């Protein structure tokens, strides 16, 4: 897995201003045979890639991909509630769909950020417990 993630980090992340490109050729160039796939970003998959990087121990890359992706969608494009399926690697403009619920994957990002599984998060002292205590008078 480490070799795969390093390859994606080396080739696909630099190819996109707003996260990581879906796919590129081994030399980093656009694959024109892949239609738009080599020029676009799948937003939900970028968040999944970010989480994978986080769980693999590459916090800097994981946080960078997640931040850039969300910076484009929320701050640059104002798409907090109707996030597109894909955007371009350069301008971040939507290229496909605003009717997908895939970005619900964001709910898992905080767990990856603190390196917890669902079981960890629900256990005493886990992320959910910590949030619930912080929201109550039990402090």
Question: Using one digit for the tens of pLDDT, what is the confidence trace for 63-91?
Answer: 999 999 999 999 999 988 888 999 999 99
C-alpha 68/C-alpha 57 separation (Å) is 19
Q: What is the mean pLDDT of residues 3-25?
A: 91
The reported pLDDT for the residue numbered 138 is 57
- The HSE-up count of residue 135 (CA atoms within 13 Å, CB side) is 6
Flag whether pLDDT at 98 surpasses 90: no
Residue 127, Cα to own-chain centre: how many angstroms? 20
Domain that holds residue 117: 2-135
The reported pLDDT for the residue numbered 81 is 82
pLDDT band, residue 41 (cuts 50/70/90)? very high
Q: What is the pTM of this model?
A: 0.88
The domain tally of the chain equals 1
Q: Which residue has the higher pLDDT, 34 or 127?
A: 127
pLDDT band, residue 112 (cuts 50/70/90)? very high
Phi–psi pair at 86, nearest 5 degrees: -135, 155
């Amino acid at each position: 897995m480490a070799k795969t993630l390093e390859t994606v980090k080396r080739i696909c992340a630099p190819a996109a201003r707003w996260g990581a490109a879906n796919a590129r050729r081994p030399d980093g160039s656009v694959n024109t045979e892949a239609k738009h796939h080599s020029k676009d970003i799948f937003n939900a998959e970028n968040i999944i890639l970010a989480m994978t990087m986080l769980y693999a121990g590459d916090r800097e890359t994981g946080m960078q991909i997640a931040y850039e992706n969300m910076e484009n969608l929320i701050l640059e494009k104002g798409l907090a509630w109707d996030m597109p399926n894909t955007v371009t690697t350069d301008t971040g403009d939507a290229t496909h769909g605003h009717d997908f619920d895939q970005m619900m994957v964001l709910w898992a990002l905080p767990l990856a950020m603190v390196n917890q599984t669902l079981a960890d998060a629900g256990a005493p002292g886990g992320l959910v417990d910590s949030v619930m205590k912080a929201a109550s008078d039990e402090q």
